[in-house]
Amino acid sequence: MLQHRAYFRNLCAHHSRLWNRRFTITVQLPRSTPAALIPSLHPVEDRRSYNTLVLLIHMVGVIEPNANWPRRLLHHLKTLKPGLHAHMGFPAGWQARPIWQIKEVTA
């Protein structure tokens, strides 16, 4: 997980595109714990951004439950053209998955 996070962070820091990237360094997805996280993952698309974003939202929630980043991410994702979500590995009906049930930014 640490190697993948560093890889993802470096892509972001160097302004690389993420929306349709197939990662060469993948993240190992948890299989049973934390149980609340498993239904939100999409193991079929293990080389795309979706699972990484889910894991980052989970980690931020554990470290700082009141952090605004997950809300801002959700708001940004909702502004994208729907076709882009599939290129990022988002499953159909992704917004109904438990991790995305966060209150959106109102301002």
Residue 107, in any domain of the structure: no
Q: Pick the most confident of 27-31, 79-83, 91-95.
A: 91-95
Residue 105, in any domain of the structure: no
Tally of domains within the chain: 1
Residue 68, in any domain of the structure: yes
> What is the SS3 string spanning the chain?
CHHHHHHHHHHHHCCCCCCCCCCCCCCCCCCCCCCCCHHHCCHHHCCCHHHHHHHHHHHHHHHCCCCCHHHHHHHHHHHCCHHHHHHCCCCCCHHHCHHHCCCCCCC
Residue 106, in any domain of the structure: no
Amino acid 25: pLDDT: 85
CA nearest to 95, candidates 81, 83, 78? 78
pTM exceeding the 0.85 threshold for the entire prediction = yes
Domain range holding 44? 2-100
What is the mean predicted confidence (pLDDT) over 76-84? Answer: 90
